[in-house]
Amino acid sequence: MSRGEHPRHLLDHTIHSPVRLSIMALLVAAEQTEFRHVRDTVEVSDSTLSKHIATLQAVGYVTVHKGSVDGRPRTWLGITRTGRDAYESHLAALGAIIEGS
């Protein structure tokens, strides 16, 4: 294997953070979910989740929609097609590393 062919070069460094990987995994499964559900499931603070969502949103991997339910503000997070593709590619690279390819 020549230099640059190792599957680690295919890892998405935006997704590779454990918190962002957890967020992406949750959004892939749910398509769209409330901010607080993601926060509680991933076990991070509001501010930590906001920072990671901003990073994912900046590269077009997630969407953020604000609204209200019963007059209370809510924020919904969703995954984009670009985000789904990036996540799947990242998982494939991880799989190749684990398999020793």
- How many domains, in total, are found in the chain? 1
Instruction: Confirm if 63 and 80 have CB atoms less than 8 A apart.
Output: yes
Structural domain containing residue 26: 7-96
- Digit-by-digit pLDDT tens for the chain (101 residues) are 455 789 999 999 999 999 999 999 999 999 789 999 999 999 999 999 999 999 999 999 999 999 988 899 999 999 999 999 999 999 999 999 999 85
pLDDT of residue 9: 92
User: In 3-state terms, what secondary structure has residue 59?
Assistant: coil
Residue 2 lies inside a defined structural domain of this protein: no
Q: What is d(CA 93, CA 72) in angstroms, rounded to the nearest whole number?
A: 41
pLDDT for 77 equals: 98
State the CATH number of the domain containing residue 20.
1.10.10.10
| pTM (predicted TM-score) | 0.89
The one-letter amino acid code at 50 reads S
Residue 1 lies in a domain: no
CA angle 55, 62, 6 (to 5 degrees): 70
- Start-to-end Cα distance in the chain: 9
Kindly state whether residue 21 falls inside one of the protein's structural domains: yes
